[in-house]
Amino acid sequence: MTDQTATGRQLPDRLDNPVKSAVLSWESLLILVALAIFIANSFASPYFLNEWSLSDMTFNFTEKALIALAMALVIITGEIDLSVASIIALASTLMGLALQAGADTPVLVGVGIGVGILCGAFNGFLVTGLKLPSIVVTIGTMSLFRGVAYIVLGDQSFKGYPASFSWFGQGYVFWVISFELVLFLVCAVIFYVLLHHTNFGRRVFAIGNNATAARFSGVRVDRIKFVLFCLTGLMSGMAAVLLTARLGSTRPSIAQGFELEAVTMVVLGGVSILGGSGTIVGVVLAALIMGLVTFGLGLLNVPGIVMSIFIGALLIVVIALPILFRMWRQRKA
């Protein structure tokens, strides 16, 4: 019996009818949860249904969701990257240094994205080149990257970013549709096609299901994993540009806790923490749910520490549920 497929998490073991399969899929459950939270928020606060409030809500998850898109592919291969928030801190710090040196907006964006890719490549080299466990490597680089940011900045901050740069984190493409949201949706489509409609995506699933078998089948496992870590660094660099532009300043404590929320989005979206299964649609829905929850709690003036407790508890629950469900089915059988 299996609870998961290569295309996502399924609630029942077998479904012969494709319509039933779609209705009873994990993604359908996430849609119902999102609708329920949306309705609850609309009753909880009279300000929630305002179009500008809904637009502001998207800022609660787009930067983290960009990271989650790449993180999903890494986790599907059986690896993990816990250094993403620290990559943002380091990229933001070096953008601040570039700003002090007189760099303009294109250079600032290039620095942020470039630093992200280099950090991802460093993680990828340690994991695929030296064969070190990714969780150990990225815990180490999580401290390393943020430590460098603290050494450079201390308790200071960089400010004075140009208006053209701030637009990336504060600008709107049309009416209440922010640039961040548009960028996230475009990236979601790209990652959906990459994972579900290309040979590269099929190889990612093959590695997650059985890396040894994939290697003997001709799949270049190490090369693909290296590319995925670089991709995670790229998305972290993009998130650094957006977050720094939105806040208008750089501090070494920027993006703290982003790694936990990104992993929670991925796992809540139906990606198996053990690798081998998951969908981009599920990750997008999970990002929306977390955005709705955090924004709703914010409207109710719930303290940030309570939100952190909620996210931590949610991560434990979504990891434990499939295991408990599998144990229940096996006991029943």
Look at residue 144 and tell me if it is in a domain. yes
**How many CB atoms sit inside 10 A of residue 18's CB?**
8
* Cβ 111 vs Cβ 91: under 8 Å: yes
Give the CATH number of the domain where residue 58 resides: 1.10.3470
Look at residue 155 and tell me if it is in a domain. yes
Q: Which domain holds residue 139?
A: 4-12+23-332
Look at residue 320 and tell me if it is in a domain. yes
Predicted pLDDT at 164:
96
Torsion sign, CA atoms 124, 128, 129, 134: positive
Greatest pairwise CA separation for the chain in angstroms: 68
| Cα(74)–Cα(226) distance, integer angstroms | 10
| Cα(137)–Cα(116) distance, integer angstroms | 16
Predicted pLDDT at 301:
85
Q: Which two tokens stand for residue 179?
A: 């640039």
Q: Which two tokens stand for residue 271?
A: 């990606």
Look at residue 45 and tell me if it is in a domain. yes
Look at residue 50 and tell me if it is in a domain. yes
Among residues 188, 177, 181, the alpha carbon closest in space to that of 282 is found at 188
Q: Which residues of the chain have pLDDT under 70?
A: 1-23
Look at residue 211 and tell me if it is in a domain. yes
Q: What is the pTM of this model?
A: 0.91
Look at residue 98 and tell me if it is in a domain. yes
- Give whole-number Cα distances, 142 to 87, 88, 136, 138, 281, in Å: 8, 10, 10, 6, 28
| Cα(106)–Cα(113) distance, integer angstroms | 11
Q: Helices 26-44 and 280-299 meet at what angle, rounded to 10?
A: 20
Number of folded domains that form the chain: 1
Predicted pLDDT at 145:
98
Position 8: which residue type? G
Look at residue 18 and tell me if it is in a domain. no
* Cβ 258 vs Cβ 84: under 8 Å: yes
Predicted pLDDT at 11:
47
Q: Helices 84-100 and 134-153 meet at what angle, rounded to 10?
A: 30
Predicted pLDDT at 299:
84
Among residues 284, 48, 321, the alpha carbon closest in space to that of 181 is found at 284
Predicted pLDDT at 1:
41
